[in-house]
Structure 1
Amino acid sequence: MSLLERLNNDMKQAMKNKEKDKLTVIRMIKASIQNEEIKLGRELTNDEELTVLSREVKQRKDSLHEFDKAGREDLVEKLRTELLYVEEYMPQQLTEEELSEIIKTVISEVGASSKAEMGKVMSMLMPQVKGKADGSLVNKLVQQHLS
């Protein structure tokens, strides 16, 4: 089942269950995917859908951080709920241990030994962990392994 089909099914279920917040989030995700399709002029691949979902998660995490700093608890709770709904559509996230193993493998494949070669490592690593790990965590772990 494609992501759009899953979103449509979940949207119908949210309507039946009168889950207003979930329905709003699903509609936002669908709109983002459809906007990307219009921009590209074709249907999205699974990887491209994952990119859109990752962007949605990142936007909400950034906003959550800003609202938390500003002391807007009403908006913080709303965003946390939205984030939970969006993350339901993301693939299973890698643990730090799993991520470290992948990073070690990529570092040895590339033959990197210093932070100067971080770009090589990241360019080979990111397609493997796309959507399965937070980019800032990946960056931090790669730096640790190259130190």
Structure 2
Amino acid sequence: MPLKQQLTEDMKAAMRAGDKQRLGVIRLILAAVKQREVDERIELDDTQTIAVLEKMLKQRKDSISQYAAANREDLADVERAEMTVIEGYLPAKLSEAEIDALIEAAITETGATSARDMGKVVAAVKTKAAGRADMGQVSARIKARLG
């Protein structure tokens, strides 16, 4: 089932169950997806929807750190609860070994030999690891491997 359809079904289930917190977060997700679709005049696929979810997750992490710095744990707890719901729609994270295997496969596939070829390798890994790995850390590993 496509991710957007899953979100819609879960929204209906949350309405029936009276789970206002979960319902609110799902509505936020659907609104963010719809906003991107309207802005770009496209229909988002699962990969693009996952990118929207990752962006929302990053926003929540930033908010939590700011709330914690301001001693507003009540607001930080709300953000953490939202993060939990959002993370439920993201695919399972890759293990270190799986990331290393993807990097090795991408290096072989692209024929990369030095740090100049890093862009090709990152692009190849990004398509396979979208939403399942922190691309900042993956890029650092690729750089270390090629450097």
CA deviations over 1:95-117 (Å, ceiling 9, x no partner): 12111111122123333344343
* Contact 1:99–1:138 under 8 Å retained in 2: yes
Q: Which residue of 1 aligns with 2:130?
A: 130
Rounded Cα–Cα distance in structure 2 between residues aligned with 1:134 and 1:11:
28
How far the C-alpha of 1:68 sits from its partner, in A, is: 3.2
Gaps of 5+ in 2: none
Query: Which runs of structure 2 are paired with 1:112-127 in the superposition (5 Å)?
Result: 112-127=112-127
Kindly provide the CA deviation profile for residues 99-141 of structure 1, in whole angstroms up to 9, marking residues without a partner as x: 1111122123333344343222212221111111122221232
Distance 1:113 1:69, change over 3 A: farther
One-letter amino acid matched to 1:121 = V
Displacement of 1:86: 0.6
Q: Is the 8 A contact 2:4 2:49 kept in 1?
A: no
Q: Does the 8 Å contact 1:57/1:86 carry over to 2?
A: yes
Tell me: CA distance 1:105–1:26, structure 2 relative to 1, closer, same or farther (3 Å): same
Q: Does 1:145 align with 2:145?
A: yes
1:20 equivalent in alignment to 2:20: yes
Consecutive unaligned residues of structure 1, counting only runs of 5 or more, are: none
> More displaced, 9-18 or 23-32?
9-18
Q: Map 1:28-43; keep pairs closer than 5 Å.
A: 28-43=28-43
TM-score by length of 2: 0.86
1:145 Cα deviation from its structure 2 partner: 2.1
Matched, 1:86 2:89: no
8 Å contact kept, 1:107–1:121: yes
Q: Distance in 2 between matches of 1:15 and 1:110?
A: 48
Cross-structure match for 2:49: 49
Would the alpha carbon gap of residues 70 and 115 (structure 1) be closer, same or farther in structure 2, given more than 3 Å must change?
Answer: farther
In 2, Cα distance between the equivalents of 1:73 and 1:31?
A: 26
Q: Larger deviation: 135-144 or 123-132?
A: 135-144
CA contact (8 A) 1:103 1:142 kept: yes
Looking at structure 1, the residues matched to 117 and 49 of structure 2 have their Cα atoms a distance apart, in angstroms, of 30
RMSD: 2.0
Aligned to 2:95: 95
